[in-house]
Copies of this chain bind each other. A is one copy, B any other.
Amino acid sequence: MIQTPYLLFLGDAPDALAAKVAQGIKDWRPEFAIGQLRMENCKADMGLTDMTLVEAKAAGAKTLVIGVANRGGVISPAWKKILIAALEEGFDLASGLHNLLRDEDDLVAVAKACGRELHDVRVPSVEYPIATGVKRTGKRCLAVGTDCSVGKMYTALAMDASMRERGLKSTFRATGQTGILITGNGVPLDAVVADFMAGAVEYISPDNDADHWDLIEGQGSLFHVSYSGVTMALVHGGQPDALILCHEPTREHMRGLPGYSLPSLQALRDTALPLARVANPACVVVGISVNTQHLSEAEALTYLASVEAEMGLPAVDPFRQGAGRLVDALVKLDETVSA
Residue A223, interface by CB 8 Å: yes
Instruction: Determine whether the beta carbon of B278 is less than 8 Å from that of A223.
Output: yes
Q: Which of A130, A134, A198, A254 has the most CB of B within 10 A?
A: A198
CB-CB under 8 A from A260, the residues of chain B are 133, 278
Residue A266, interface by CB 8 Å: no
Instruction: Determine whether the beta carbon of B232 is less than 8 Å from that of A228.
Output: yes
Residue A225, interface by CB 8 Å: yes
14 A-B pairs whose Cβ atoms sit less than 8 Å apart in the complex: A133-B225, A135-B259, A190-B194, A190-B195, A191-B195, A194-B194, A195-B226, A195-B227, A197-B229, A222-B275, A223-B278, A229-B231, A229-B232, A229-B233
CB-CB under 8 A from A130, the residues of chain B are 226
Contact with A225, one of B231, B237, B254 (Cβ below 8 angstroms) = B237
CB-CB under 8 A from A228, the residues of chain B are 198, 232-233, 235-236, 275, 278
Residue A279, interface by CB 8 Å: yes
With an 8 Å Cβ cutoff, the count of chain A residues facing the other chain is 40
- Determine the residue in chain B with the shortest Cβ distance to A190: B195
Residue A199, interface by CB 8 Å: yes
CB-CB under 8 A from A230, the residues of chain B are 194-195, 229
Bound Cα distance from A130 to B230, whole angstroms = 13
Instruction: Determine whether the beta carbon of A257 is less than 8 Å from that of B193.
Output: no
Contact with A198, one of B225, B235, B254 (Cβ below 8 angstroms) = B225
Known: A194-B190, A233-B194. A132 touches B226 (CB 8 A): yes
Instruction: Determine whether the beta carbon of B271 is less than 8 Å from that of A274.
Output: yes
10 additional A-B pairs beyond A228-B232, A228-B236, beta carbons within 8 Å, are A134-B259, A191-B194, A191-B195, A194-B233, A198-B225, A198-B226, A228-B235, A229-B236, A231-B232, A271-B274
Residue A192, interface by CB 8 Å: yes
Which parts of A72-131 form the interface with B (CB within 8 Å)?
Answer: 130-131
CB-CB under 8 A from A275, the residues of chain B are 222, 228, 271
Interface string of A47-72 (1 = CB under 8 A from B): 00000000000000000000000000
Q: Which of A194, A263, A279 has the most CB of B within 10 A?
A: A194
Residue A189, interface by CB 8 Å: yes
CB-CB under 8 A from A191, the residues of chain B are 193-195
CB-CB under 8 A from A223, the residues of chain B are 278
Which parts of A161-211 form the interface with B (CB within 8 Å)?
Answer: 189-195, 197-199
Give A276 Cβ to nearest chain B Cβ, in Å.
10
Bound Cα distance from A233 to B254, whole angstroms = 17
Q: Which of A226, A235, A254 has the most CB of B within 10 A?
A: A226
Give A103 Cβ to nearest chain B Cβ, in Å.
16
Give A147 Cβ to nearest chain B Cβ, in Å.
12
CB-CB under 8 A from A190, the residues of chain B are 193-195
CB-CB under 8 A from A271, the residues of chain B are 274-275
Interface string of A267-307 (1 = CB under 8 A from B): 00001001100110000000000000000000000000000
Known: A223-B278, A275-B271. A194 touches B133 (CB 8 A): no
Interface string of A128-145 (1 = CB under 8 A from B): 001111110000000000
Q: Which 8 A-B pairs have the closest CB atoms?
A: A229-B233, A225-B236, A232-B232, A229-B229, A190-B195, A131-B226, A133-B225, A229-B232
